[in-house]
Amino acid sequence: MKKWIIPALYILVLALAFTYRNEILDWLNTNDSFFVLLTLATLFALFPILPYKAVIAVLGYVYGTFLGALIAWLGTTFAAIIIYFLAAFAFRQPGRKLLAKYAYLDSFTTAVEKHPFKAIVIARLAPIVPQMAVNIYAGVASIPFWIYTAASGLGKIPAILIYAYLGNGLAHNPLLFAVLAFVLMAAAAVIFILYRKKY
């Protein structure tokens, strides 16, 4: 029964957040309480009614690069921790059974569990990897909590800083955005290639 409670609650909150998305965004632009902003940043990461990159850009525009990035980083890190525990609590056993059915996924999980810190950092740096999938996979795959948290926190920093910086005044410059996005993807590709060569 517990498998269905969490998805049902998630869908309910997502529907409510989508319904009131404009009011939430307006309020976000006018509120200056750090605790409330952090709570909203966490909720936006948990229930992505908007691309989180847009949330980071708004925070960067309103509060500056570093404060905006800090709020976004804390919010998305807290959200990642919450999803990790929900996945571990509700889906670890059925998830492991599903992974074991497929030889490639099972061997991939074994490799990740041998080098969890590097694997999570690479997944966070790679712009094509869905971050929610990383959160759920880490909970199912039994990656140690503190390793997961530290690697997630580290891997999120570059992209968050970039989008907060763009939101702070350079979002109107598409060329700069393209260059920064290319640099981020190139860095992720280099790290991935080095990781594959070593392991």
One pLDDT digit (tens) per residue for the chain, 199 residues = 455 555 565 566 556 655 666 676 666 666 667 788 888 888 888 887 667 877 787 788 778 888 889 999 999 999 999 999 988 887 777 766 666 666 556 666 776 778 889 888 888 888 777 888 888 888 888 788 999 999 999 999 988 988 888 777 654 555 665 666 566 666 656 665 665 565 5
The residues, any chain, with a CB within 8 Å of residue 10's CB and separated by 6 or more, are: 47
In the chain, the number of structural domains is 1
Structural domain for 191, as ranges = 2-198
What is the per-residue burial (b if ≥16 Cβ within 10 Å, else e) of 98-135? ebeeeeeeeeebeebeeebbbbbbbbbbbeeeebbebb
Q: Among residues 68, 36, 40, which one has the least CA distance to residue 169? A: 68
pTM over cut 0.85: no
